[in-house]
Amino acid sequence: MDYKPDYERLAERLNAQGTNVENVKAKLKAQHIETPSWGYGNGGTRFKVFAWEGAARNIYEKLDDAAYIHKLSGVAPSIAIHIPWDKVDDYKALGEYARSKGIAIGAVNPNLFQDDQYKLGSVCSPSASVREEALAHIVECCEIMPKVGSNLLSLWFADGTNYSGQDSMSARKRRMEAALVETHKHLPAGSRMLIEYKFFEPAFYHTDLADWGTAYAMALKCGPQAQVLVDTGHHAQGTNIAQIVSFLLDEGRLGGFHFNARRYADDDLIVGTNNPFELFEIYCELVGAGEGAKDVAYMIDQSHNIEPKLEAMLLSVLNCQTAYAKALIVDWNHLAELQAAGVVLGAQQVYVKAFETDVRPLLAQVRVEKGLNPDPIAAYRADNYAAQVAKQRGIALSAGSAIQ
């Protein structure tokens, strides 16, 4: 693929509009997308888990796969873990294994939804002993963080009710608040807790942390180390996620993302497939925020059922790279002028022009400068890693996903 002439033409155009291409490339080289351990094991829907030949069977194999995705993409240097799916006896050794593979362990996710006692919720359960058990598990995860070298605690609760009157929503709100405030006290120094919301599922009448506003209010009550996590799949149809991102960024409370694509609910599809413009809008808010977005954690939250796992994860990472590249090449100065002058469609066209620009030559150049193959998907297909792990690992319905 001779991408060079196209890259040079694009670089010339960007420099002419006042966008420094070297700066854009430097930002793209520093991009960091975290992949989820649970995306490498078998995962599926509540109807069927299709076992994938070569799916990782334990956390060490998941780390191997995450390191492989990083080797191909150059922008996925960490992996999120979910406890107890990824429970091990020696967490220090786990962190060292990750480092030996050239990656790091990122967010630690306590699992507060899979054990029988959580049927009526975890930290909001009407049972005090269940609430205590849930909090103890969160504290256990706070203790795991320094051992694996992580500074992020990622919290999602399946808590909620199915019927009006089932439990007191205000009592549950106070239980949630007490648990989060207590969690904040256990955070290792310099770390953050990210509070994830979801508007429904598995509870269908009400969810205890249903939306960003609730998560934001909780974060304010906890303290400065608490922020909101935006999972792109967790909104009602038509919600303007870019606006949520913009608000939270401006308040310094956007902690991170769980990227995926959805059409109807929490579909866990490959990010940037059916929502490329939405992903671009989100990245525009992040680029527009400049330094205000410097601590945001970019994580993928997908577990694929019918897609080839590694290729799906690679594509997810690359789609985030594409969206970021497009946001970086927006003619921001021209946009500001048009916005100030109230030129409605002119301003919108500046966005569309960047979105419609073919950034593949720019990304190819960035990859080559990083010593990578300019086309990671082609490199993946030409490589025998997937065939090798399929042979080694075979087909096993393994631990590591919500549906086992």
Please give the Cα distance from 276 to 263 (Å, whole number): 12
| Contact assessment for residue 77 and residue 104, using Cβ atoms and an 8 Å cutoff | yes
Please give the Cα distance from 86 to 401 (Å, whole number): 10
Amino acid symbol at 261: A
Q: How many residues bind Mn ion (CB under 5 A)?
A: 3
| Contact assessment for residue 309 and residue 40, using Cβ atoms and an 8 Å cutoff | yes
Find which of ligand PSV, Mn ion, none residue 402 binds, CB within 5 to 8 Å per kind: ligand PSV
Q: Is 285 in the site for Mn ion (CB under 5 A)?
A: no
Minimum CB distance to Mn ion smaller for 113 or for 385? 113
Find which of Mn ion, ligand PSV, none residue 375 binds, CB within 5 to 8 Å per kind: none
Structure tokens at 267: 């579909």
Binding residues among 200-239 for ligand PSV as defined by CB under 6 A: 231
Q: How many residues bind ligand PSV (CB under 6 A)?
A: 10
Q: Which residues of 170-188 are buried (b: 16+ CB within 10 A; e: fewer)?
A: eebbebbbebbeebbebbb
What's the closest the beta carbon of residue 158 comes to Mn ion, in angstroms? 11
What's the closest the beta carbon of residue 238 comes to ligand PSV, in angstroms? 20
Q: Among residues 196, 211, 278, 281, which is the contact residue for ligand PSV, using CB under 6 A?
A: 196
Binding residues among 180-239 for Mn ion as defined by CB under 5 A: 231
Binding residues among 51-90 for ligand PSV as defined by CB under 6 A: none
Interaction pattern, residues 241-260, with ligand PSV; x per rule: CB under 6 A = -----------------x--
Provide the CA 50 distance to its chain's centre, in angstroms. Answer: 23
Interaction pattern, residues 100-139, with ligand PSV; x per rule: CB under 6 A = ---------x------------------------------
What's the closest the beta carbon of residue 301 comes to ligand PSV, in angstroms? 5
Q: Among residues 38, 40, 91, 380, which is the contact residue for ligand PSV, using CB under 6 A?
A: 38
What's the closest the beta carbon of residue 397 comes to Mn ion, in angstroms? 22
Q: Among residues 167, 211, 301, 375, which is the contact residue for ligand PSV, using CB under 6 A?
A: 301
Going by C-alpha positions, the residue among 169, 196, 173, 186 that lies closest to residue 223 is 186
| Contact assessment for residue 404 and residue 45, using Cβ atoms and an 8 Å cutoff | no
Please give the Cα distance from 154 to 320 (Å, whole number): 20
What's the closest the beta carbon of residue 48 comes to ligand PSV, in angstroms? 17
Please give the Cα distance from 147 to 86 (Å, whole number): 14
Q: Is 310 in the site for ligand PSV (CB under 6 A)?
A: no
Strands of 111-219, DSSP E: 152-155, 160-161, 192-196, 206-207
Q: Is 301 in the site for Mn ion (CB under 5 A)?
A: yes
Interaction pattern, residues 141-180, with ligand PSV; x per rule: CB under 6 A = ---------------x------------------------
Please give the Cα distance from 139 to 133 (Å, whole number): 10
Please give the Cα distance from 251 to 220 (Å, whole number): 10
Amino acid symbol at 166: Q
Sole residue written with tokens 């796992």: 309
Q: Is 258 in the site for Mn ion (CB under 5 A)?
A: yes
User: CB under 5 A: which stretch of 93-101, 203-211, 295-303, 344-352 binds Mn ion?
Assistant: 295-303
What's the closest the beta carbon of residue 142 comes to ligand PSV, in angstroms? 16
Please give the Cα distance from 316 to 34 (Å, whole number): 11
What count of other Cβ atoms lies within 10 Å of the Cβ of residue 17?
A: 15
Residue nearest to ligand PSV (CB): 156
Residue numbers at the binding site for Mn ion (CB under 5 A): 231, 258, 301
Interface residues with ligand PSV (CB under 6 A)? 38, 109, 156, 196, 198, 231, 258, 266, 301, 402
